[in-house]
Amino acid sequence: MNMIEIKVPATSANIGPGFDCLGIALNLYNKFYIEEIENGLIIEGCDPSFANEDNLVFTSMKKCFEKIGYRYNGIRIIIKADIPVSRGLGSSAACILGGVVAANELGGDVLSKEEILELATKIEGHPDNITPALFGGMTVSITENNKVYYDNIDIAKGIKFYTLIPNFKLSTEEARKILPDTVSHKDAVFNVGRTALMLTAMINGNFDLMKVGVKDRLHQEYRGTLIEDFNYILDECNKLNTYGVFLSGAGPTIIVAVQQEDDNILKAVKKKLEGLNSVWDLKELNVDYKGVSIIK
């Protein structure tokens, strides 16, 4: 039996005010090498505590096998993960998609991309990481009656992203638990307007509008209380000549959007991070336009 290689990009969900609906694929990847074996389950390349039946890649594969009615014998999974875990960069979405796409391949490639999107979204709970990881680029996606409605956003040229990844984790579960059950009409209006402005700014290349457009009142402020130095970093990076600073997904990673040609900001951002209690790894990431790929 041939081994299938699946490559899935990292993703940054929300992008400021677009809570649970916007996402962007970034050029940092998890690779999954998967084959059907005679029996049993072998998982390599991850912490031994995840090398069991509860592994997210494997449980996602099983859900796909159930859906397509495929009876497998045994499974071997090798994981090569560059996407850091519990940092708000879509590592769970990458594992889910890797599993679903691999199982669909092993089962004879029966699901359409939309069916893969729907199954993976059902497993993840929201579509904003899954959609860009599957299709690449920047996407808007929502669910209604279990159906995912999505579209691609054509970002104008001239922008790049610095990811500030701390050496501590924040689980999405914890970061969702801290959100209020209700928000004021004022805060809802604040976010609707900014989401719309930020999207048109990105499509039209009017990036200067992003600084105000990426502001959010639905999640960042609450989650910021769980992230050491969040407000300091946000304020200091906003003072620089950036296009905008926002939390990546549920955090704790912070993203700084900057002018494509500007290489001076990097040094300035690094300087702001010096001397903080936690270590923040600064990476320049670009948009991945390909999404999931299967290398046979």
Interface positions with ligand HSE (CB under 6 A): 13-14, 19-20, 126, 128-129, 172, 176, 219, 249-250
Cβ proximity to ligand HSE: between 194 and 272 the closer is 194
The distance of closest approach from Cβ of residue 93 to ligand HSE in the complex, given in angstroms and rounded to an integer, is 7
Q: Please, what is the minimum distance in Å from the beta carbon of residue 5 to ligand HSE?
A: 25
Q: Which is nearer to ligand HSE, 19 or 150 (CB)?
A: 19
User: Shortest Cβ distance from residue 195 to ligand HSE (Å)?
Assistant: 13
The number of beta carbons lying within 10 Å of the beta carbon of residue 7 is 19
Closest CB to ligand HSE among 19 and 280? 19
Whole-angstrom Cα distance, residue 45 to residue 231? 36
Whether 73 contacts 106, CB under 8 Å = no
In the block, which residue shows the tokens 């669909």?
104
Q: Taking the complex as a whole, how short is the minimal distance between the CB of residue 238 and ligand HSE, in angstroms?
A: 21
Nearest approach in angstroms of CB 286 to ligand HSE is 21
Instruction: Output 78 or 287, the one with its CB closest to ligand HSE.
Output: 287
Please say which residue, 62 or 176, places its beta carbon nearer to ligand HSE: 176
Supply the minimum distance, in Å, between the C-beta of residue 2 and ligand HSE.
33
DSSP string, the chain: -PPEEEEEEEEEESTTT-TTTEEEEEEEEEEEEEEEESSSEEEESS-GGGSSTT-HHHHHHHHHHHHHT----EEEEEEEE-SPTTSSS-HHHHHHHHHHHHHHHHTTS-S-HHHHHHHHHHHHS-STTHHHHHH-SEEEEEEETTEEEEEEE-PPSSEEEEEEEESS---HHHHHHTS-S---HHHHHHHHHHHHHHHHHHHHT-GGGHHHHT--SSSHHHHHTTSTTHHHHHHHHHHSS-SEEEE-TTSS-EEEEEETT--HHHHHHHHHHTT-SS-EEEEEE-B-SS--EEE-
Question: Measured from the CB atom, is 12 or 242 closer to ligand HSE?
Answer: 12
Question: How near is the Cβ of 7 to ligand HSE at its closest, in Å?
Answer: 20
Cβ proximity to ligand HSE: between 242 and 253 the closer is: 253
Q: Which is nearer to ligand HSE, 14 or 55 (CB)?
A: 14
In the complex, least distance from residue 11 CB atom to ligand HSE, rounded to whole angstroms: 9
Cα separation, 54 vs 65, whole angstroms? 16
